[in-house]
Structure 1
Amino acid sequence: MAKKMTGAILPGNSTVEFREFDVPKPGYGQVLVATRASTICGSDIRAIYREHMGKGAEGYISGMIAGHEPCGVVAKAGPGTREFTEGDRVIVYHISGCGICYNCRMGYAIACTSKNRQAYGWQRNGGMAEYILCDEKDLIALPDELTYKDGASVACGFGTAYEALEKIGINGNDAVLVVGLGPVGLATLMLCKAMGAEKLIGVEMNDYRIQLAKDMKLVDYVIKPSDTAVDEILALTGGHGVERAIDCSASDAGRQTAVRATRDWGKIALVGEGNTMSLNPSPDMMHSQKSIYGSWVTSTWRMMDLVEHLVRWGIHPGELVTDEFQVERADEAYALMASGKCGKVAVVFPEK
């Protein structure tokens, strides 16, 4: 095993820097994972790549190896590990929580309240390097039926989509609206289709992603954002609106569309991060008896549930990866993801 490795860091000015790092050694309860795939998340672009946003638990520490969606194989297990051993294929749940607070004990380390909470790729080194040092408790087994790109896609994007869909419930009676067809929106469509949704409607302005959704046969109808978008959705649903809506756009207008295009007693999940939401509570929510659910990433137990269902459904999240780069070209990978002219972008690490 090499003693040095190249890691990609994000200075915050829409550039990527490469630095040499020591290959870490696992301590008690830790494992060294050889990265096989690490995908790029929209939050990496929004909150780190363009400029460093957030403080404390949500702040990027300058100089950390980027990448919070890694997947790979255990290269070495440290003392005190109890489950994973060399050769095991694993997904890294990207928040390392304290394990003791209420949220951690629920499995939602994403909402850990401890000052010791750390996110891979943000406050501790992430997956944009050949190896990543992980706490064993943060690992999810990757079934043999799934690829490393599948696992990396699950690590954040598909896990986030699945969590939201489980909160609002999806079944064969539902017309479902997905606002924003970036990677998380496309993941949402793929999962809704697997769950048997009756009709899938997307709202998106990016022509590349509209065509990608159509080419993959993930959507029945796509509407571009406009003042008439809600009316168009109502027309597609017999004037009633959709039973379920998920906003992945993070835009005020997109969220309004999701709420107003949902039928009486319907449910809406908010997934996209940032910005604001402007509603008129009585006509938009109260009189129509709608429910809005906030959903932030997912839990370790839900991620385990997801990978089991992916195998059962026979679907592969990695199919949303449209572009692959080796780590030496991570600058090109981040630039492409920032352009929006792509699906999911992955940095891959060939086995040696």
Structure 2
Amino acid sequence: MRQTYDDLMRAVCFESFRTTPTIAELPDPVAPADGVVIAVEATGLCRSDWHAWSGHDDTVALPHVPGHELVGHIVEVGAGVREWTLGQRVTTPFVGGCGACEWCASGNAQVCPDQTQPGFTHFGSWAEKVVIRHADLNLVAVDDEIPAEAACSLGCRFATSFRGLHDRARLAAGETLAVFGCGGVGLSAIMIARALGARVVAVDISAEALALASRHGAEVLVDSTGLTPAEVAAEVVRAAGSAPAVTLEALGRADTMNAALLCLAPLGRHVQIGLFAGPPEAAIGRVISHELSFLGSHGMAAADYPALLDLVRSGALRPQDLVTRTITLEETPEALRAMDAGTHPGMTIIRP
């Protein structure tokens, strides 16, 4: 039977990698037995979406709808879901666990071998509706008082930065953190570090990005334009007055990662969040000689969200302050293509 318009939704879709996406009318998604359908209130434009569109992630099948940061209301519930009901306002980690493996059982769904990711393993949130699987494990309730601009970023950049600094690096009050790359992830890390009581050095080549970093808590700014990794590292130490205890790389570039490793104090901890298009060459000699810790952060399990949400509710962390641009679905394809030249300062959110 031919579908009516009411059975369709608008979505940003691309048929092949690196070609401009279109606004398509696609069949409404159906909730699997263990999942839900969410009507998207707001969704983020993230560098990871650019990687998916560029063909850097082998989980992406064509045609494809990107988008993995979201907040919205449940509009359909699968028969096997026990913890969630129609109408609830929710977000979700961009990594969803299967709920059946040892990693999910230990509370580490973010590294589940059978993980699902909206916008990567299946159609994502650059649409009017999106499916989230294994809902009882992977959904997070969001208070109505939390703005959509704050809530939609909690699924990826804020959760990944929070886990990287709070749980992986165990950043302590009074320590110095150097953040390399002051886009959405980097600015999230700066805000989180300040909420945790750390001192922050921001490193970028963009004066506008550094100005935003200063506005959101960075005490020391380093313009790395034209400098080698060794020169950037030396400038970070000079400007900060000492070598940082923790570094975080948010771009996915070998040169900035190595600058971060080269400036670390002995026994320092490096958090790698930026994704690489291919395997990078790393300053392994420095890692060995200074006994550095190299830590990845791949999102955060839904069960670990309460501490992050408490910071947002208290006002100590205000993700909404990083939003510098709000666009429509129709404006999203061009915004994605523009990321070839770099990210837009601050955070961009999409209102379907």
Q: TM-score, normalised by structure 2?
A: 0.88
Q: Which residue of 1 is the match for residue 150 of structure 2?
A: 150
Q: Which residue of 2 is the match for residue 305 of structure 1?
A: 307
Per-residue CA deviations over 1:25-61 (Å, capped at 9, x if unaligned) read: 334333221100010111111x222x21232xxx211
Q: Which residue of 1 is the match for residue 91 of structure 2?
A: 91
Q: 1:37 is matched by which residue type in structure 2?
A: A
Cα offset, 1:190, TM superposition: 0.6
- Preserved CA contact (<8 Å) 2:267 2:291: yes
Q: Which residue of 2 is the match for residue 132 of structure 1?
A: 130
Q: Which residue of 2 is the match for residue 183 of structure 1?
A: 184
C-alpha distance in 2 between matches for 1:185 and 1:259: 16
1:229 aligns with 2:232: yes
Q: Superposed, which structure 2 residues align to 1:308-323 within 5 Å?
A: 308-323=310-325
- Preserved CA contact (<8 Å) 2:190 2:216: no
C-alpha distance in 2 between matches for 1:16 and 1:205: 29
- Preserved CA contact (<8 Å) 1:180 1:248: yes
C-alpha distance in 1 between matches for 2:216 and 2:31: 44
C-alpha distance in 1 between matches for 2:193 and 2:185: 12
Q: Which residue of 1 is the match for residue 272 of structure 2?
A: 270
Secondary structure of 1:289's match? coil
Cα offset, 1:7, TM superposition: 1.0
Q: 1:261 is matched by which residue type in structure 2?
A: C
Runs of 4+ in 1 over 4 A off after TM superposition: none
Aligned match for 2:17, one of 12, 21, 28? 12
1:36 aligns with 2:41: yes
Per-residue CA deviations over 1:250-275 (Å, capped at 9, x if unaligned) read: 22221222122122222221221114
> CA 1:94 to 1:172, structure 2 compared with 1: closer, same or farther past 3 Å?
closer
Q: 1:191 is matched by which residue type in structure 2?
A: I
Q: TM-score, normalised by structure 1?
A: 0.88
Extract unaligned runs of 5+ from structure 2.
none
C-alpha distance in 1 between matches for 2:235 and 2:223: 10
- Preserved CA contact (<8 Å) 1:337 1:345: no
* Number of residues of Structure 1 aligned to a counterpart in Structure 2: 337
C-alpha distance in 2 between matches for 1:224 and 1:130: 40
Q: Superposed, which structure 2 residues align to 1:106-255 within 5 Å?
A: 106-114=106-114, 117-135=115-133, 136-137=135-136, 138-166=138-166, 167-197=168-198, 199-214=199-214, 216-225=215-224, 226-227=227-228, 228-238=231-241, 240-255=242-257
Superposition RMSD in Å: 2.1
- Preserved CA contact (<8 Å) 2:40 2:125: yes
C-alpha distance in 1 between matches for 2:118 and 2:29: 14
Cα offset, 1:176, TM superposition: 1.1
C-alpha distance in 2 between matches for 1:37 and 1:306: 19
Secondary structure of 1:35's match? strand
- Preserved CA contact (<8 Å) 1:70 1:126: no
> CA 1:14 to 1:177, structure 2 compared with 1: closer, same or farther past 3 Å?
farther
C-alpha distance in 2 between matches for 1:132 and 1:217: 32
C-alpha distance in 1 between matches for 2:252 and 2:94: 21
> CA 1:89 to 1:314, structure 2 compared with 1: closer, same or farther past 3 Å?
farther
> CA 1:259 to 1:53, structure 2 compared with 1: closer, same or farther past 3 Å?
closer
C-alpha distance in 2 between matches for 1:318 and 1:337: 21
Q: Percent identical across equivalent pairs?
A: 22
Q: Which residue of 1 is the match for residue 103 of structure 2?
A: 103
Cα offset, 1:21, TM superposition: 1.4
C-alpha distance in 1 between matches for 2:333 and 2:158: 24
- Preserved CA contact (<8 Å) 1:337 1:344: no
